[in-house]
Amino acid sequence: MNKPALAWRRLPSSPLTSGNSDPATPDCALTRKFDSFVRLDATDRDLLNALVREPLLGTAGQDLFQEGEQAEHAYALLDGWGCRYKNLGNGKRQIINFLIPGDICDVYAFVSRKMDYSVGLLTDANVAVSSLSNFWDLLWSSPRIGQAFFRSTIIDEGILRERLVSIARRNALERLSHFVCEMWARLQRVGLTVGDTAPFPFTQEQIGDTLGLTAVHLNRTLQILRTQGLISVQNRTLRIHDPKQLREIGGFDSSYLSIEEMA
């Protein structure tokens, strides 16, 4: 999570947009996510998809920015995975949240400019980059886009609260179950689930770092879910065999992720 610096190559052409079936209008993950919050019209989609035109290719292990830096750009993941994280003095690390395709990396930047966390890439990734002011303009270019953005930040905060509850009050098995349910729901929103499978590129250490558990203990806990026949993980792909029981164990209630339609 700390390669030397941001040495990005510009993609020459046709960025990979993943998980979308319609070849005529290949919405990027950000567009898909926003659209799931607020029905967008064609103009909105074009405005958002324009972000994709010149994505930068980041590589696994690279940081988009680090704690303490001044924010200068807005980043959104188009494909690929990342995480917000903090390093503690004693060498420990806490992952605040994973970032999946469609996620915006640094809302915080819009006000503070000085980041209190880092964002790193877990995989190679296409990243939409734009100046803060351009992104700001985009948000105000349409009321629907602005609303969708606002909702996505609100949901991020809800995810944070729910994670806090998980870590503070649930044991390892409950935590992990809840986490799997949450990732599933988030991936579904951007159309990345296929049947009962979903991409799952995390190492066990990374999952441990988000759930406040040791990699060792996470491993043992994962084995329980596997031997109980609830999930399986192969080839960086998650398969959920018994979603109902998984939700039950984790005490998962998806309402914090999917905001009701506004009155």
Partner DNA sequence: CGATAGTTTGATATCCTTCAAAACCTGTGG
Partner DNA sequence: CCACAGGTTTTGAAGGATATCAAACTATCG
Residues lying near a second copy in the complex (CB under 8 A) are found at 68, 86, 88-90, 92, 94, 96, 108, 111-114, 116-117, 147, 150-151, 154, 157-158, 160-165, 167-170, 211-212, 251, 255-256, 259-260, 262-263
**How far apart are CB 98 and DNA at their closest, in Å?**
14
Q: Nearer Cβ to a second copy, position 165 or 224? A: 165
Handedness of CA 12, 22, 129, 137 (dihedral sign): positive
When CB distances are held under 5 to 8 angstroms depending on the partner's kind, the choice from DNA, a second copy, none that residue 216 binds is DNA
Q: What are phi and psi of 62, to 5 degrees?
A: -85, 145
- Read off the DSSP letter of residue 114: B
When CB distances are held under 5 to 8 angstroms depending on the partner's kind, the choice from DNA, a second copy, none that residue 165 binds is a second copy
When CB distances are held under 5 to 8 angstroms depending on the partner's kind, the choice from a second copy, DNA, none that residue 43 binds is none
Q: Nearer Cβ to a second copy, position 8 or 256? A: 256
- Residue of the chain from 195, 235, 244, 263 that contacts DNA (CB under 7 A): 235
> 195 is written with which tokens?
């049947």
Q: Are 47 and 69 in contact (CB under 8 A)?
A: no
User: Strand, helix or coil at 248?
Assistant: helix
Q: Nearer Cβ to a second copy, position 24 or 262? A: 262
Residues touching DNA, count (CB under 7 A): 18
Binding mask 32-61 for DNA (x = CB under 7 A): ------------------------------
Q: Which of 258, 255, 251, 257 is nearest to 166 (CA)?
A: 251
Distance, in Å, from the CA atom of 263 to the CA atom of 261, rounded to the nearest integer, reads 6
Nearby residues of 262 by Cβ (< 8 Å), 6 or more positions away: none
Handedness of CA 67, 72, 74, 75 (dihedral sign): negative
Q: Are 45 and 27 in contact (CB under 8 A)?
A: yes
Per-residue b or e along 192-204, where b marks 16 or more CB atoms closer than 10 Å to that residue's CB: bbeeebbbbbbeb
Q: Nearer Cβ to a second copy, position 171 or 237? A: 171
171: contact with DNA by CB under 7 A: yes
142: contact with DNA by CB under 7 A: no
When CB distances are held under 5 to 8 angstroms depending on the partner's kind, the choice from DNA, a second copy, none that residue 151 binds is a second copy
Report the interface residues with DNA, using CB under 7 A. 171-173, 203-205, 212-217, 219-223, 235
